[in-house]
């Protein structure tokens, strides 16, 4: 069979033109503008822009509060990704073994993802309110303690991590359930006949077969932790409480928003966006370079 080819060189580009126009307007042009702004000392209100070269980047890297925000962001992302995937895979395996009422059980697991981040954060804010929250009411009645969840740095950081994991668990469960339902039945049956059960069955058979889905979800959860958890931080803690030279939950995305939008330092915010992009790119390259080798496609 002959391979279909375009008769002219212009026609393929005409077919790509609508997509290229959308990418140029909403991706390439903003990216170029961000790079341009990162080299200026500009103000969102006055519109004045003065070329400063690398000054924004050097100021950021020398700022102890920015270094602290970067370290806290890395820790936050590591916890959200690892805990999120661990909890989601466990729940997906349990959901896949349910026979009666499986549809409603899976719907209950996926439901948190349907909530907007703002609504999810508001729910957690009411639940963990130190004075009238349900969690402290129960803890006070049973154990006589009322932790200051939003005022203690360690507790506030842990609360944001738990909220982020809970919010995204439905997304992970949906993908894991789909992957588990499409596992090759003959491979699983052969493993059971050979005596693979329990943890041995999981680590030797199930986990390698699920590695492509896990590899994808690592990046999806990393993107979520870096960017989509902004609303949780904004509503729950506002970047606080104070810890060291910054806030205990003042992650890079929240800091970018406060510096670039609230404080009108667009050049400074653009430099932070560029540094975040470079960091994500390095993590992605490292993930493909080292972890990608362990992904097993096919049975």
What is the C-alpha separation between 146 and 223, in angstroms, rounded?
34
Residue 34 lies in a domain: no
Residue 52 lies in a domain: no
247: containing domain: 65-294
Mean predicted confidence (pLDDT) in 78-99: 89
Residue 135 burial (CB count, 10 A): 17
Give the torsion through C-alpha atoms of 145, 150, 156, 160, to 10 deg. 110
Residue 27 lies in a domain: no
Residue 86 lies in a domain: yes
Residue 260 lies in a domain: yes
What tens digit of pLDDT does each residue of 56-71 get? Answer: 899 898 999 999 999 9
In 3D, which of 253, 203, 201 has the Cα closest to residue 231?
Answer: 253
Residue 252 lies in a domain: yes
Q: Which of 26-30, 147-151, 203-207 has the lowest mean pLDDT?
A: 203-207
Residue 26 lies in a domain: no
Banded model confidence at residue 291, pLDDT cuts 50, 70, 90 = low
Alpha helices in the chain (DSSP H): 10-23, 29-38, 55-62, 64-97, 102-114, 117-127, 134-142, 153-181, 185-193, 198-201, 207-209, 211-223, 230-236, 252-257, 266-286
Predicted local distance difference test score (pLDDT) of residue 2: 58
Domain CATH number, residue 89: 1.10.3720.10
Total domains, the chain: 1
Predicted local distance difference test score (pLDDT) of residue 83: 95
Residue 104 lies in a domain: yes
User: Is residue 3 predicted with pLDDT exceeding 70?
Assistant: no
Percent of the chain with pLDDT over 70: 92
What tens digit of pLDDT does each residue of 165-217 get? Answer: 999 999 999 899 888 888 888 777 777 777 667 777 777 778 888 888 888 89
Predicted local distance difference test score (pLDDT) of residue 106: 77
Predicted local distance difference test score (pLDDT) of residue 111: 82
């Amino acid at each position: 069979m002959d391979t279909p080819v375009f008769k002219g060189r212009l026609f393929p580009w005409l077919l790509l033109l609508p997509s290229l126009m959308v990418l140029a307007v909403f991706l390439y042009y903003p990216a170029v503008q961000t790079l341009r702004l990162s080299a200026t000392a500009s103000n969102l209100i006055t519109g004045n822009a003065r070329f400063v070269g690398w000054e924004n980047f050097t100021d950021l890297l020398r700022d102890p509060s920015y270094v602290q925000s970067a370290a806290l962001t890395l820790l936050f992302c590591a916890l959200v990704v690892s805990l999120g995937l661990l909890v989601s895979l466990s729940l997906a395996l349990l959901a896949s073994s349910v026979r009666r009422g499986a549809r409603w059980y899976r719907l209950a697991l996926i439901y948190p993802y349907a909530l907007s981040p703002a609504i999810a954060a508001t729910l957690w804010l009411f639940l963990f309110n130190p004075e009238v929250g349900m969690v402290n009411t129960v803890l006070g009645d049973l154990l006589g303690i009322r932790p200051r969840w939003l005022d203690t740095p360690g507790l506030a950081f842990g609360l944001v991590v738990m909220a982020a994991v809970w919010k995204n668990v439905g997304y992970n469960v949906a993908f894991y359930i789909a992957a588990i339902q499409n596992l090759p039945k003959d491979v699983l049956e052969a493993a059971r006949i050979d005596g693979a059960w329990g943890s041995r069955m999981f680590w030797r058979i199930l986990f390698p077969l699920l590695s492509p889905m896990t590899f994808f979800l690592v990046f999806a959860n990393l993107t979520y932790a870096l960017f989509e958890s902004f609303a949780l931080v904004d509503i729950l803690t506002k970047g606080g409480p104070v810890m060291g030279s910054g806030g205990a939950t003042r992650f890079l995305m929240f800091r970018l928003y406060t510096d670039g939008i609230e404080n009108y330092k667009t050049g400074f915010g653009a430099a932070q966006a560029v540094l975040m992009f470079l960091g994500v790119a390095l993590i992605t390259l490292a993930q493909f370079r080292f972890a990608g080798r362990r992904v097993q496609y096919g049975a």
